[in-house]
């Protein structure tokens, strides 16, 4: 629904003398036994796939032409160009101007390669990292980007970034310091897992210190003044709340780097805003925008019968995705008293009939989410392995988790009949659970507790297309005796009601997030310390067992260790009962005016339409000649 910031080396080991010399030059405490790794990137586990002298990314077309425009639709509105503040609504792409020292790739999990740096140095224990910046990195105004800007950006995000992010970053990074104008060192705090910290430091956006201070910008405040960055695109026309355009910088410093060849191909990226999703689809049909990533099964199955689609002007294409599922789910606000009893949560979950919804509403096109690592080999299945048991046993011994987690398959969402909206078997099971929890149905059929309070449930929704999905769920809950209702509001109201300090909701559709290789991000998503300030842990989950498992995941040093740790955490998270998982599809549904091309061998982890797709000028001219484009 809404979306943040997100290896061993192939280089030959340095000799001892070189290691000591480098350590002294970098101001590091030289230890004869400390091996310093120098590399063009870093991987969470294992080797980097690309050598230091790679010519281009394996999935791009390095000869892709530059030019043209791609436009996409979204809905809601925006009133800010600051994506790092809870104030205001940031425009789509408002961080596109900013780059990071390291960058990821779309066919390799856990790998980060030098973008702004030539090389990076770090010890085997990853207790610090030094980045050697390129001498040609320029902000889009032509001024040089230096280590001073990197340190300033870190200090600013540490002081003024999103509260949950800066809290966790402050627990992990001791300091950033400029060793010389092109060398910056990050030192990590002792006693914390350092596996991911070089990537965390190298993944921080870098903003211009001079521009930030000259314009009196504030990372905590909403603003229509974009941050000055070094990226390949610049803000173009900003029509507040209606549309925003980004234009390719012809003087982009990094356009000829091997990691950028075949990318950033389009001259113009345009995003058009619509009041709601149905209007956005009508806008696409009318040619107001030209590329659409379809998210509605009904439209994908039935909606592309308009003339441009039937005449071949608009192309439908389904592309395979290797991405882990987003964790889309109905999420309960655990801060509310009614949700404290797990029997209530279980009863409410029983009344969502995915199987009927998939057949009646989704044309059988979706699969059910049942894991926090769905569509990956990190998903827990069957009985736990001995390694998982070893992780979970202490938590069982302390009474933080039930003993059944050591032997049983992981919890899965209830299965319902696809033949009727209301599954009678699940209705009886849910009724028994609410009776046990003290919510008794009265003469009017409404359930009340001993104090006479009704069991009420409001679905807070900001997507009109979800109304047809939520409405049957509401009807099922009413049959159970729950005073349930659907309240569809606009995006601005939704953000106010679902963020700190308000958290004024019962149940929403959101994302229960994880990364493929998770780390400190789990503290933001599920940690007790950030439950009342996080924009990610909207459920307000506070679980000592989950807090402990987060530390185990963060401390994993090998691929085998993190697999066992995340599978153990997957089992424990599923037992918390704060979600009713929804659905996903392991493909991208795309529809676009037939003037774009993409690489034949698409990477598994990104669609990349604004990056490594390209524009065919001849086909675009033919469409214009037909009057198909606005």
Are residues 155 and 301 both part of a single domain?
Answer: no
Residue with tokens 């229960």: 512
| Three-class HEC string of 18-34 | HHHHHHHHCCCCCCCCC
- Is residue 36 very low, low, confident or very high in pLDDT (cuts 50, 70, 90)? very high
**Phi and psi at residue 477, in whole multiples of 5°?**
-65, -35
Average pLDDT over residues 417-424: 97
- Is residue 163 very low, low, confident or very high in pLDDT (cuts 50, 70, 90)? confident
For residue 615, give the 3-state DSSP assignment. strand
| Residue 10 confidence (pLDDT) above 60 | no
**Bridge partners (DSSP) listed for residue 221:** none
Q: How far is CA 406 from CA 410, 535, 538, 542, 553, in A?
A: 10, 32, 29, 22, 18
pLDDT for position 455: 98
Are residues 360 and 399 both part of a single domain?
Answer: yes
Query: Is 30 a domain residue?
Result: no
pLDDT for position 374: 97
Least trusted range by pLDDT, from 155-169, 179-193, 269-283, 441-455: 155-169
| Residue 32 confidence (pLDDT) above 60 | no
Are residues 318 and 433 both part of a single domain?
Answer: no
Average pLDDT over residues 539-543: 97
Are residues 596 and 491 both part of a single domain?
Answer: no
Are residues 312 and 291 both part of a single domain?
Answer: yes
pLDDT for position 492: 86
Cα 216 from Cα 166, distance rounded (Å): 21
DSSP run (H or E) holding 216: none
Least trusted range by pLDDT, from 18-27, 35-44, 90-99, 312-321: 18-27
Query: Is 543 a domain residue?
Result: yes
Query: Is 98 a domain residue?
Result: yes
Are residues 278 and 214 both part of a single domain?
Answer: no
Q: Is 298 in contact with 361 (CB distance < 8 Å)? A: yes
Are residues 594 and 535 both part of a single domain?
Answer: no
Quote the mean pLDDT of the chain.
93
Cα 431 from Cα 102, distance rounded (Å): 53
The model's pTM: 0.87
- Is residue 247 very low, low, confident or very high in pLDDT (cuts 50, 70, 90)? very high
Are residues 495 and 428 both part of a single domain?
Answer: yes
What is the per-residue DSSP string for 519-544? STHHHHHH-GGGTTT-SS-TT----H
pLDDT for position 2: 34
Query: Is 338 a domain residue?
Result: yes
Number of domains in the chain: 3
Are residues 553 and 597 both part of a single domain?
Answer: no
Cα 79 from Cα 223, distance rounded (Å): 8
Q: Is 202 in contact with 150 (CB distance < 8 Å)? A: no
Least trusted range by pLDDT, from 47-51, 74-78, 151-155: 74-78
pLDDT for position 576: 97
**Bridge partners (DSSP) listed for residue 315:** 592
Query: Is 372 a domain residue?
Result: yes
Query: Is 28 a domain residue?
Result: no
Range of the domain at 118: 82-237+248-254
Cα 261 from Cα 611, distance rounded (Å): 10
Are residues 350 and 390 both part of a single domain?
Answer: yes
| Residue 75 confidence (pLDDT) above 90 | no
| Residue 20 confidence (pLDDT) above 70 | no
| Residue 14 confidence (pLDDT) above 50 | no
Cα 436 from Cα 21, distance rounded (Å): 71
pLDDT for position 429: 98
Are residues 281 and 400 both part of a single domain?
Answer: no
pLDDT for position 4: 32
The percentage of residues in the chain with a pLDDT greater than 90, rounded to a whole number, is 88
Rg (CA), the chain: 26
Average pLDDT over residues 125-154: 98
CATH code, 389: 3.10.105.10
Using one digit for the tens of pLDDT, what is the confidence trace for 341-368?
Answer: 999 999 999 999 999 999 999 999 999 9
Query: Is 33 a domain residue?
Result: no
**Phi and psi at residue 268, in whole multiples of 5°?**
-135, 130
Are residues 204 and 308 both part of a single domain?
Answer: no
Average pLDDT over residues 590-610: 97
The percentage of residues in the chain with a pLDDT greater than 70, rounded to a whole number, is 95
Cα 120 from Cα 478, distance rounded (Å): 59
Query: Is 35 a domain residue?
Result: no
Q: How would you label 602-630 residue by residue, b for 16+ Cβ within 10 Å and e otherwise? A: bbebbbbbbbbbbbbeeebeebeeeebbe
Report DSSP state, residue 184.
Answer: E
pLDDT for position 33: 63
CATH code, 198: 3.40.190.10
């Amino acid at each position: 629904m809404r979306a943040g910031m997100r290896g061993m080396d192939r280089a030959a080991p340095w000799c001892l003398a070189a290691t000591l010399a480098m350590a002294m030059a970098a101001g590091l405490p030289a230890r004869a036994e400390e091996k310093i790794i120098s590399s063009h990137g870093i991987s969470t586990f294992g080797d980097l796939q690309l050598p230091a002298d790679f010519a281009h990314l394996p999935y791009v077309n390095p000869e892709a032409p530059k030019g043209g425009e791609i436009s996409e639709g979204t809905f809601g509105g925006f009133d800010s160009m600051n994506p790092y503040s809870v104030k205001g609504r940031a425009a789509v792409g408002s961080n596109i101007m900013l780059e990071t020292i390291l960058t990821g790739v779309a066919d390799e999990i856990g790998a980060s390669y030098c973008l702004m740096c030539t090389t990076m140095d770090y010890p085997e224990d990853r207790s610090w990292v030094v980045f050697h910046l390129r001498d040609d990195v320029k902000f889009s105004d032509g001024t040089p980007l230096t280590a001073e800007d990197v340190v300033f950006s870190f200090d600013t995000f540490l002081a003024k970034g999103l509260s949950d992010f800066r809290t966790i970053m402050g627990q992990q990074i001791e300091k950033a310091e400029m060793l010389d104008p092109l060398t910056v060192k990050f030192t990590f705090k002792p006693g914390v897992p350092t596996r991911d910290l070089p990537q965390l430091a190298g993944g921080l956006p870098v903003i211009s210190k001079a521009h930030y201070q000259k314009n009196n910008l504030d990372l905590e405040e909403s603003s229509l003044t974009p941050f000055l960055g070094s990226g390949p695109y610049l803000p173009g026309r900003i029509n507040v709340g209606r549309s925003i355009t980004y234009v390719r910088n012809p003087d982009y410093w990094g356009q000829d780097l091997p990691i950028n060849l075949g990318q950033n191909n389009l001259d113009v990226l345009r995003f058009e805003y619509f009041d709601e999703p149905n209007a956005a689809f009508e806008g696409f049909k009318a040619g107001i925008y030209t590329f659409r990533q379809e998210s509605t099964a009904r439209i994908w199955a039935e909606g592309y019968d308009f003339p441009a689609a039937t005449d071949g002007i608009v192309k439908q294409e389904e592309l395979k995705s290797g991405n882990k599922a987003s964790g889309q789910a109905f999420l309960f606000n655990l801060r509310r008293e009614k949700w404290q009893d797990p029997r209530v949560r279980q009863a409410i979950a029983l009344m969502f009939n995915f199987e009927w919804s998939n057949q009646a509403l989704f044309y059988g096109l979706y699969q059910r989410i049942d894991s926090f690592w769905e569509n990956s080999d990190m998903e827990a299945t069957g009985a736990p392995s001995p390694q998982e048991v070893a992780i979970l046993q202490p938590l069982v011994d302390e009474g933080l988790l039930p003993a059944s987690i050591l032997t049983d398959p992981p919890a899965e969402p209830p299965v319902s009949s696809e033949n009727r909206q209301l599954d009678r078997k699940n209705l009886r099971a849910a009724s028994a659970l609410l009776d046990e929890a003290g919510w008794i149905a009265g003469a009017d059929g409404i359930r009340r507790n001993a104090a006479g309070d009704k069991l009420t449930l409001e679905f807070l929704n900001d997507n009109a297309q979800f109304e047809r999905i939520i409405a049957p769920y509401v009807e099922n809950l009413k049959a159970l005796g729950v005073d349930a209702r659907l309240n569809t509001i606009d995006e601005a109201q939704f953000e106010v009601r679902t963020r700190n300090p308000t958290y004024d909701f019962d149940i929403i559709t959101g994302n229960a997030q994880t990364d493929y290789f998770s780390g400190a991000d789990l503290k933001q998503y599920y940690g007790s310390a950030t439950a009342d300030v996080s924009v990610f842990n909207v459920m307000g989950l506070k679980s000592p067992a989950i807090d402990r498992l987060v530390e185990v995941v963060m401390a994993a040093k090998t691929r085998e260790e993190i697999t066992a740790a995340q599978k153990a955490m997957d089992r424990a998270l599923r037992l918390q009962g704060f979600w009713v998982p929804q659905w996903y599809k392991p493909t991208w549904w795309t529809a676009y005016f037939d003037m774009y091309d993409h690489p034949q061998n698409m990477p598994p982890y990104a669609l990349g339409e604004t990056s490594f797709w390209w524009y065919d000028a001849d086909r675009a001219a033919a469409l214009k000649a037909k009057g198909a484009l606005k």
